[in-house]
Structure 1
Amino acid sequence: MSEFSRAILRAPAEQVHAGELSRLAEGDTGPRPEGWRLSPRAVRAFIIGDSKRDVRRKFYGDDALIDRCIVTLMSNRGLLLVGEPGTAKSMLSELLSAAISGQSTCTIQGTAGTTEDQIKYSWNYALLLAEGPTQRALVRGPIYEAMRTGTLCRFEEITRVQPEIQDGLISLLSDKVLHVPELADDEAVVFAARGFNVLATANLRDRGVHEMSSALKRRFNFETVRPIADRKLETQLVREQTEALLQQASVDVELGADVIELLVTAFHDLRNGATAEGVVVEKPTAVMSAAEAVAVGYAASLDAHYFGDGSVGGEHIARQLIGTVLKDNPDDGGKLRHYFDVVVKQRAQRHAQWKRVLEARRELER
């Protein structure tokens, strides 16, 4: 990690993993689509790891999904990653952009207030009044810049954008041409350079989601990113991601394997509505994703570091878990109390860390 990456709160993937990208590029002899920084094989290795070239795995899930995503981005269709919140859609989008285009910051953050000029282009109105519509007065949006340079444009939360704004992408994805009618004839058309494509994400569970038109859907290949089913993989992910956040924050704590196992087990229980022993529990409405588990592990570690003795225990996990479950719906408190009384209480009789979790139950009554 570069000194610049250490100095900012969150560096983009191309800076965080600059060393790995450089090693992959040096040994990359595979066929490469025009406009791509790496071959498809090297892009795949960057995301799922390659021990021979000292490249670690970054995405834990279906490896075949990665292959399909890469193939789609080589085609004439855009890629839309859909799924529940917290399934690493945005992270995967960022990693693909960093490996394919060498940068991941050409991004549109979709909201209910996103307008067409924020996506395509707008004007510096002082220069527009002084000079008229010129290239100097033009303010290029992410789509304009991606088409001009032949790179990927990330469109986060595309279904949160109003349908009439979404449909502005139809002609761009079909014809790969952007018209700027205000400019002179020889500057009024921007043809997409090779390498351009749109990589969008959509959460299916969030409020405020707008249905995409059939015409726009046909311009995308849909890929569903599912929660990690393998508990061992999720445990490895949560441990690595939490340790990376702690290292970046220069926080030194004792985070044992038993505590990480406890954290992942609790999330699996509540996400699936049943324990490994077959005990049925009520699912909370809150998102119980691997991303949330990392957030809980990180917050629990900070709690132990600044307010404890630096050793993360079950009580630290429990306090943060309570906040995560209750943040969407206070009525989930009853479900969590049931989980403590039926599951945690039994485990507390056999495991010391689960006993420390049970001791934090009183915070549910506040």
Structure 2
Amino acid sequence: MTARHTDAAGKRRPAPPRAAPAADVDAAGVAPDRSDAVGPGAAPAQLRPPAEERWAAELEALAAADAASGAEIPAGWRLSPRSVRAFIVGDEDLGVTRKFYGDDPLVDRAVVTLLGRQGLMLVGEPGTAKSMLSELLSAAVSGASTLTIQGSAGTTEDHIRYSWNYALLIAEGPTRRALVPSPVYQAMESGRLVRFEEITRCPPEIQDTLVSVLSEKQLMVPELGDGFRVSAAPGFNVIATANLRDRGVHEMSAALKRRFNFETVRPVSDRAFEAELISRALDAELGPERAPMSPQVLDVLVTAFADLRTGTTASGAPVKRPEAVMSTAEAVNVGVAASMSARYFGDGTVRAADVARQLVGVALKGEDEDARRMRFYVDSVVRERARSSAAWKEFLSASQDLWG
């Protein structure tokens, strides 16, 4: 019989594989290896393989280095804490690339948290690579990043604890064979990390299912008899993420907060560094399909996003911030769309006009006020810059056609 789960609407659906991939990962700073499978019998190429597959060679190199040096590896972990850190921030000597561009001490604190009893809570604005960091930590610590729960209004207790194959339940009663383990259940049994994305999107009573799991490190299954429980194996822990924009949607209880260490992942503030990150991300995302983008056009893209994200220009002039998320990840999305537009509908080179046209999809999310704020930005800031820059002049012309 086929095991079954409940979906976000509460309907029964076929169960996913034991480890379902995360639905969304922040784009900032991603630099995946691109190697398509070819040849008879080869597996089809994936749009986005999990971290442990994309960087399998680096993980093997780090494991070999741990073995050669006799590094201490915590119980249940695949790598030593130093190698986990190196996997995320890079190690030139071992040929390990940097994957997370941000606060390195934050990475250190995150690794230390996972060594203890507390769960790790990554909070921050949307698009700051929280999900990517949780994926990288899971891949390095557990060798698997796909034990994931996606938080939403439709998340139920079954998604966190366990559910049942109802055909087997009717035929056999509550047995181990009829039980369908959740990602948390699987992580506890195998001593691995489990990721809980967007935890504050879940109702408080669903969030609090984690309280006993984090404090007692046990999961009771009363249907299988008195005292039946799953005890967490060494290596088990929880990494959760929450957007600051969601604060107040569903507040976490004090009891649950006490069982997490909170770390804030902040946006990139250095505009030159952000331009470098966006360029690397475009190379990784598009590879040979990327249309050329001049430094002047890239500067327009980075500067427009930075102005609208911070509410001020580099010279200190005030800007009305839109409600839409203007993160580095969204800037990458605009860059990708502008490159595709230039390749298939333009002359093959990304222009500032392409950036302006694709910016509409980010800045307009159904908020009329955001359109007024964009018109103010174009009429005041962009118009002034267009007097001395050909790229900004082109951006202004395209924006006027869009924003009126």
TM-score range, shorter chain: over 0.9
Match of 2:250? 210
CA distance in 2, matches of 1:348, 1:6: 47
Distance change >3 Å, CA 185–CA 3, structure 1 → 2: farther
2:88–2:100 Cα contact (<8 Å) kept: yes
Match of 1:242? 282
2:374–2:403 Cα contact (<8 Å) kept: no
1:60–1:234 Cα contact (<8 Å) kept: no
State which drifts further: 6-15 or 165-174: 6-15
Match of 2:395? 357
State which drifts further: 98-107 or 271-280: 271-280
Q: Which runs of 5+ in 2 are unaligned?
A: 1-32, 38-42
Match of 1:3? 36
- Following TM superposition, by how much is the alpha carbon of 1:215 offset from its aligned partner in structure 2, in angstroms? 0.7
Q: Tell me, yes or no, if structure 1 residue 15 matches structure 2 residue 53.
A: yes
Match of 1:117 among 158, 161, 167: 158
CA distance in 2, matches of 1:95, 1:233: 21
CA distance in 2, matches of 1:280, 1:313: 26
State which drifts further: 83-92 or 324-333: 324-333
- Give SS of 1:279's match: coil
1:286–1:328 Cα contact (<8 Å) kept: no
1:80-139 residue CA offsets vs partner (Å, 9 max, x unmatched): 111111111111111111111111100000111111111111110101111111111110
State which drifts further: 273-282 or 221-230: 273-282
State which drifts further: 106-115 or 45-54: 45-54
Distance change >3 Å, CA 363–CA 14, structure 1 → 2: farther
Q: Give matches, 1:58-97, under 5 Å.
A: 58-97=99-138
State which drifts further: 64-73 or 267-276: 267-276
1:257-315 residue CA offsets vs partner (Å, 9 max, x unmatched): 32222211111111111111222221111111111111111111111111111101100
Match of 1:297 among 303, 316, 335: 335
1:162-204 residue CA offsets vs partner (Å, 9 max, x unmatched): 1111111111101111111111458x21110000000000112
Q: Tell me, yes or no, if structure 1 residue 173 matches structure 2 residue 214.
A: yes
Match of 1:197 among 237, 261, 269: 237
Match of 1:306 among 335, 340, 344: 344
2:200–2:247 Cα contact (<8 Å) kept: no
Match of 2:262? 222
State which drifts further: 238-247 or 341-350: 341-350
How many correspondences in the alignment? 363
Match of 1:347 among 385, 394, 399: 385
- Following TM superposition, by how much is the alpha carbon of 1:32 offset from its aligned partner in structure 2, in angstroms? 1.5
CA distance in 1, matches of 2:119, 2:237: 6
1:170–1:216 Cα contact (<8 Å) kept: yes
- TM-score, normalized by length of structure 2? 0.86
State which drifts further: 237-246 or 24-33: 24-33
Distance change >3 Å, CA 14–CA 328, structure 1 → 2: farther
CA distance in 1, matches of 2:387, 2:128: 33
- Following TM superposition, by how much is the alpha carbon of 1:6 offset from its aligned partner in structure 2, in angstroms? 7.4
- TM-score, normalized by length of structure 1? 0.95
Match of 1:267? 305
Q: Give matches, 1:245-256, under 5 Å.
A: 245-247=285-287, 251-256=289-294
CA distance in 1, matches of 2:218, 2:348: 57
Q: Which runs of 5+ in 1 are unaligned?
A: none
1:319–1:363 Cα contact (<8 Å) kept: no
Higher relative contact order structure (alpha carbons within 8 Å, sequence separation ≥ 6):
2
CA distance in 2, matches of 1:16, 1:155: 21
Match of 1:329? 367
RMSD of aligned residue pairs (Cα, Å): 1.7
- Following TM superposition, by how much is the alpha carbon of 1:206 offset from its aligned partner in structure 2, in angstroms? 3.0
- Give SS of 1:199's match: strand
- Identical counterparts, % of pairs: 61
2:290–2:340 Cα contact (<8 Å) kept: no
- Give SS of 1:310's match: coil
Match of 1:24 among 51, 62, 85: 62
- Following TM superposition, by how much is the alpha carbon of 1:337 offset from its aligned partner in structure 2, in angstroms? 1.5
CA distance in 2, matches of 1:6, 1:225: 35
State which drifts further: 330-339 or 303-312: 330-339
Amino acid at match of 1:164: E
- Following TM superposition, by how much is the alpha carbon of 1:18 offset from its aligned partner in structure 2, in angstroms? 1.5
Amino acid at match of 1:54: G
CA distance in 1, matches of 2:270, 2:251: 32
CA distance in 1, matches of 2:254, 2:88: 31
Q: Tell me, yes or no, if structure 1 residue 47 matches structure 2 residue 88.
A: yes
Distance change >3 Å, CA 72–CA 207, structure 1 → 2: closer
- Give SS of 2:291's match: coil
